[in-house]
Amino acid sequence: MYQVPPPKEPSGCLQTLVISRMIARILLVPLLLIFGGVISVILVVYALATHFLLGIGVILVAVVILSVLARWEYTRVKRELPPADDFDPADPRMR
C-alpha cells in the first residue's frame, strides 16, 4: 500500500538568522569594550613613545571622558531607581 510522505519541514535558515542576530546583540557591547580597551592601550603606548606630553594628554582626555560617562551613568541609574523608603533598622519603632 502507498503511504503519503509527511510534509517536509521548512529549512532552519530563518531560525538560524534569528539566533545569530540575538547572539550578536548580546555580545556586541562586551566585544566593543574589549576591542576599545585594546585599541586605547595601543594608542596610549604609541602616544607615550612619540612624546611624553602627548601620552599624558591622551591619558588626561581618557580620564575626562570616563568621568563624564560615569557621571552620566550615575544620573541615569539614579533616575530609574524607585524611591527609597524610610526604613531604619536601628529605629526601635520599626521592630
User: Which residues 6+ apart lie within 8 Å of 37 measured at CB?
Assistant: none
Average pLDDT score over residue span 45-70: 94
Average pLDDT score over residue span 8-14: 75
Torsion-angle region of 8 (φ positive above 0: left; ψ -120 to 50: alpha; else: beta):
beta
Average pLDDT score over residue span 54-60: 95
pLDDT at 91: 65
Q: In the numeric block, which cell numbers belong to residue 5?
A: 510522505
94 DSSP 8-state letter: G
Q: In the numeric block, which cell numbers belong to residue 25?
A: 546583540
CA-to-CA dists, residue 83 to 18, 57, 74, 77, 88, angstroms: 38, 41, 15, 12, 15
pLDDT exceeds 80 at position 55: yes
Residues in the chain: 95
